[in-house]
Amino acid sequence: MARQLSRWAICCLRAAAPGLDWGRGTGCELSCASFGRIMRPDDANIAGNVHGGTILKMIEEAGAIISTRHCNSQAGEPCVAALARVERTDFLSPMCIGEVANVSAEITYTSRHSVEVQVNVMSENILTGAKKLTNKATLWYVPLSLKNVNKVLEVPPMQYARKEQEDEGKKRYEEQKLDRLETKQRNGDLMLPVINPDRQTKEPHTVGYSQSSLIHLVGPSDCTLLGFVHGGVTMKLMDEVAGMGAARHCKTNIVTASVDAINFHEKIKKGCVITVSGRMTFTSNKSMEIEVFVDADPFVDEPRERYRAVSAFFTYVSLSKEGKPLPVPQLLTETEDEKRRFEEGKGRYLQTKAKRQAQMQQAAQQ
């Protein structure tokens, strides 16, 4: 019976991504996957640039499929892999309508109760054959029992080609575990949703002027086999809200430049009403940081207080009609909390900039 349930779960996941290369054997065929899809007008903004949330959703679909497949590769209780965390993701190059997004995913580390998946996204111009790397992402999943959603199962261990690979993976696991604990400590911050605000009373380029919210009723099409929201659906909504705030601030075409680590603190059940809220926290000369929270109201089946489900920082850049970077208007902070968040954002910006410069110097020396 367990294996029948497992096969049923995999068949449903196959239907979710019919273009995926599933493989039929063991080894790499179980830990690797790839699929492609042409980008349509409804995947992009008015300038023809594909939404960052669309790409994040595709990345999560690939990760969910191969991690679920791996966790069901041995005899035992059937399960579905649930997204727990996405590491910082950089959008290296814009993708446009008509290009093909080729997504490839690989399992790179397993702990007792989690799976690390690394995903690359390549854009392909099918007219010229030109390809370029647009995204690299690292995701962490945990296997949840199909019989008891609150039960986290053990992950079948993967085989490493070298001992160094396992040691490096363990180091990444410990680092993300520590970061999740730090994020939980600041996760109680309150952000009231802004519904139909009177922006004419607010000064442009202030936090209140660009703050945005979105309310969404979670339906069956948003959910996994267990009745909880797909991580990719949540990330897409978060990108939409962050994008609205960035566009209001700049009044130009904007694109997602990066997403800091996204932490999924609690599951969101079918029937919940979720409120996605975003506020600008920092601007540099050419980028802007937006903090996004997802709060859930599970009042349908089991009434309880609203809770914080997901949080993350999104970074956007402003582009001209020709796709060239434009200066970003300076964020005007009015309250002490806004000034504090601005300084914290500045610290994250400088830290990321220093890390990127160090990586470039290291690459130049090789």
CB count, 10 Å around CB of 41? 9
List phi, psi (to 5°) of 347: -65, -45
- The Cα 198–Cα 14 span in angstroms is 46
Helix/strand/coil percent split, the chain, to 5: 35, 30, 35
Distance of alpha carbon 284 from alpha carbon 297, whole angstroms: 35
| 239 among known catalytic residues | yes
Handedness of CA 77, 80, 81, 82 (dihedral sign): negative
CB-CB contact of 89 with 28 (8 Å): no
Catalytic residue among 43, 72, 102, 239: 239
Region class of 84: left (phi > 0), else alpha (psi between -120 and 50), else beta? alpha
Q: Is 337 an active-site residue?
A: no
- Please report the DSSP string for 316-341 in residue order: EEEE-TTS-EEPPPPPB--SHHHHHH
**On the CB side of 337, how many CA atoms lie within 13 Å of its CA?**
7
List residues with catalytic annotation: 45, 239
